Amino acid sequence: MAKRIFNFSAGPCTLPLSALEKAQSEFVDYGNSGMSLIEMSHRGKIYDAVHNQAIDVFKELLAVPDTHEILFLGGGATLQFAMVPLNLMVEGKTAEFVNTGAWAKKAISDAKKCGSVKVIWTGEGESFMRIPRKDELVFNQEASYAHVCGNETIGGIEWQEIPDTGKVPLVVDASSHVMSRPIDWNRVAMMYAGAQKNLGPAGLAVIVMRKDLIEHGKEGLPAYLAYKTHVPDKSMYNTPPVFAIYMMKLTLDWVKEQGGLKGMEALAIKRSCTIY
């Protein structure tokens, strides 16, 4: 095998070698089926098992409660910048955003095209060098939802504690640090994450969303853009990003072997202390 390098890029992550090698060994002939997994019908029993196992291990590792639904959708986190406001904005109400940097700004930009947006705090005047203090955040309890980006990879700042938004549904872009720490689902109504930072290859977004938000989502949207479209068939309304989901499942199996979130948090702290 060619010598592997250390990858400190903020983009696609370095995947566990054991997961890559397992995928390599199974790529041409998956489970003695005579076919690659990516050649099979996503409606067949073989892929169905992979898909459900990916949901199960994700739910177990992040301790997702039964109040929340797990969805695997294409388009990465960027599509969620539009899907969130399209589904959750309520006419006559604002969506509130905390602007902590490049990724929050992209979410704000798309939300403004869908309805009323209020930025309740911005770090732009300080070159996005910090996360707001608790006393700087006041959420309107009548807002459609509130949105934060959990970790701004470009600016290098991260929420150490997700804010308490009261009865306002909190939406968190967790692309850069999903699976690195526990999530307080009592506070987080919805989490979305592009897979390529921590979970697997690009092209997949994982959404964990409170079921009542899905049920009361906006009507009249194009089918793929409505979260409620994807729930009955467990994210298989259309052909899902099969390979990305399979690789995520292998990566999550490795995470579980390393001690789950506690193991990942310990490794993250060790890496940070080594580098910085």
| Helical (H) or strand (E) element with 209 | strand 204-210
- What are the E-state strand segments in 30-187? 68-74, 95-99, 117-122, 145-149, 151-152, 157-158, 170-173
From the candidates 173, 218, 249, 253, give the one annotated as an active-site residue: 173
Active site (annotated) includes residue 103: yes
| Helical (H) or strand (E) element with 192 | strand 188-194
Question: What is the bridge-based pairing of β-strands 117-122 and 95-99?
Answer: parallel
Active site (annotated) includes residue 66: no
From the candidates 105, 110, 159, 197, give the one annotated as an active-site residue: 197
Closest CA to 38 of 270, 217, 240, 222: 240
List the structure tokens of 128.
């996005």
Closest CA to 153 of 10, 6, 9, 8: 10
**CA gap 150, 190 in Å, rounded:** 12
DSSP 146-166: EEEESEETTTTEE-SS----T
CA 39, chain centre distance (Å): 26
List the structure tokens of 201.
């290859």
Closest CA to 51 of 236, 183, 200: 236
The CA distances from residue 58 to 185, 207, 275, in Å, are 14, 11, 29
- How many residues are present in the chain? 276
Q: What residues are labeled active site?
A: 103, 173, 197
